[in-house]
Amino acid sequence: MTSWLLLAEAGAQEGGLFDLDATLPLMALQVVLLTFILNALFFRPVGKAVEDREGYINTSRAEAKSKLAQAERLEADLKAQLKDARQEAQTLVVNAEQEMDRLYRAALAEATAAANASREAARREIDAERSKAVAELDQQASLLSDQIVSRLLPTP
């Protein structure tokens, strides 16, 4: 098991673990080239795609947010209008009810007054008729009684 450890420090004939040669600069060159190639093929286009998407998402989000705010504002506006309309309707209904009540009362009062008046007039007429009838009756009674008397008691 010691052979490769020995080799690592001795570098025996040729090679060894720490054999530095032209591999080093060429590998460095290769990696630099790879950096440029990957930059052109990978980092730039993918970065652009990702950042475009991020931008798109951000603007869409902002747009959606402003739309949402607008919708909320509209909703609040409409709600306020609805509330106003409801209140107006309420007052209208109340007013109408009061008006109706008033009219009803007025009509009722008028009708009652008219009925009272006509009843009074009727009663008065009845009274007059009755008194007239009584007077006539009285008159006829006295006439009849006179006739009876004249019939029973021959005139001297």
Q: Which tokens belong to 124?
A: 């008065």
Is 149 a binding residue for another protein by CB under 8 A? The answer is no
Is 17 a binding residue for another protein by CB under 8 A? The answer is yes
Contact segment (CB under 8 A) with another protein among 12-20, 93-101, 110-118, 132-140 equals 12-20
Question: Whole-number minimum distance, CB 59 to another protein, in Å?
Answer: 13
Residue closer to another protein (CB basis): 24 or 152: 24
Q: What is the DSSP string of 38-68?
A: HIIIIIHHHHHHHHHHHHHHHHHHHHHHHHH
Is 60 a binding residue for another protein by CB under 8 A? The answer is no
Provide long-range contacts, Cβ within 8 A and 24+ apart, for 82-90: none
Residue closer to another protein (CB basis): 53 or 79: 53
Cα separations in angstroms, 146 against 131, 136, 139: 22, 15, 10
d(CA 152, CA 37): 165
Residue closer to another protein (CB basis): 23 or 90: 23
Question: Whole-number minimum distance, CB 68 to another protein, in Å?
Answer: 23
Contact segment (CB under 8 A) with another protein among 43-51, 81-89, 92-100, 129-137 equals 43-51
d(CA 89, CA 85): 6
d(CA 70, CA 96): 38
Cβ(98)–Cβ(90) under 8 Å?
A: no
Residue closer to another protein (CB basis): 21 or 149: 21
- The residues of the shown chain that bind another protein, judged by CB under 8 A, are 1, 3-4, 7-8, 11-28, 30-32, 34-39, 41-47, 49-50, 52-53, 56
